Amino acid sequence: MTRPFRFIAPAPRLGTDPAAWRAEVRRIEDLGFTTMSIGDHLSSGWVLEPLTAMTVAAEATTSLRVLSLALANDYRHPVLLHKALATLDVFSGGRVEVGIGAGWMAADYTAAGIPMDRPGVRIDRLEEALAVLTGLFGPEPLTFAGEHYRVQDLTGLPRPVQAPRPPLLVGGGGRRMLELAARTADVVGVHCTLRSGVQDSEAVADLTAERVAEKVGWVREAAAAAGRDPELQFSVYHSRVGRDAPAPSSSFAALMAAAGDTLADSPAVLVGDVDECVDRLQEVRERYGFSYLNLGADLDGLAPLVARLAGT
């Protein structure tokens, strides 16, 4: 099934004027983006706490959805996280989307003094957290006994506006994470592998067209086995729409630009005029199934794409 395009805009940077931040969030809504997303990091210059920023953004707008992309499971107990998300879903009128992953940025763990377990343990813990979250959004009191979490006869309150719960997005780059997402999430985010805990040349090499197609294959196979058909989300890390568009400023985008022909056909690269980029995104959806897209932070450059494709 071909799903209509939905577009994510990353949260604006917070300057010295919170009112200006709110105004920029309203501009995201006015430009036709479906969703504003915010990441979850503790170091490397990251400023905003995601749940608080999602709340402020929801209060500043009327239809814009708010998405954590993505919460690091190790930073929050799932019982407390459920309570915060359910409360925000009520106050926002049902505009919350829950993106969550196992955690990956080594600098965050070091800065906060949080032990960074090996990937398998973090994924085990995430799998249990997903069971707790899903259970608390369910109709009956939850009792859960796992290796990492224990919950006893707990009723999940408040009841969210969205039924049975806010949409759940789980993303990852390795096979086990993507198969877990395919079995449990409403939306699967397909990303590069970040085994080293940083966005490096290994992560760039994991975004070739062939590797992304392989990852989508893992998702489709696992979803079919579970009788599911999740929406697929993807982030374009190197995006320049129009001849006058600024070059992406992130260090990871610079690594991608340096990769040259290696990423020429990658869906993580979007370069060209509006017509060329419209055609390219339609090709990407046809080949990979990606319909929920984060194209970067250049709102003015991306607005014509959103106007042409959102909802189609």
What pLDDT is attached to residue 153?
Answer: 98
Q: What is the mean pLDDT of the chain?
A: 95
What pLDDT is attached to residue 253?
Answer: 73
pLDDT single digits (tens) 157-178: 999 999 999 999 999 999 999 9
Answer for the pair 143, 76: CB distance below 8 angstroms, yes or no.
Answer: no
pLDDT single digits (tens) 224-249: 999 999 999 999 988 999 877 777 76
pLDDT single digits (tens) 247-282: 776 777 777 776 778 888 999 999 999 999 999 999
Mean pLDDT within 280-297? 97
pLDDT single digits (tens) 176-202: 999 999 999 999 999 998 877 888 888
State the pTM of this model: 0.96
pLDDT single digits (tens) 6-48: 999 999 999 999 999 999 999 999 999 999 999 999 999 999 9
What pLDDT is attached to residue 72?
Answer: 97
Distance of CA 16 to the CA centre of its chain: 27
3-state secondary structure of 60: helix
Q: What is the rounded CA–CA span in Å between residue 203 and residue 252?
A: 9
pLDDT single digits (tens) 54-103: 999 999 999 999 999 999 999 999 999 999 999 999 999 999 999 999 99
What tokens were used for 296? 């970067």
For tokens 């917070």, the residue is 14
Q: What is the rounded CA–CA span in Å between residue 41 and residue 10?
A: 14
Q: Which of 85, 252, 209 is nearest to 159 (CA)?
A: 85
What pLDDT is attached to residue 264?
Answer: 85
3-state secondary structure of 124: helix
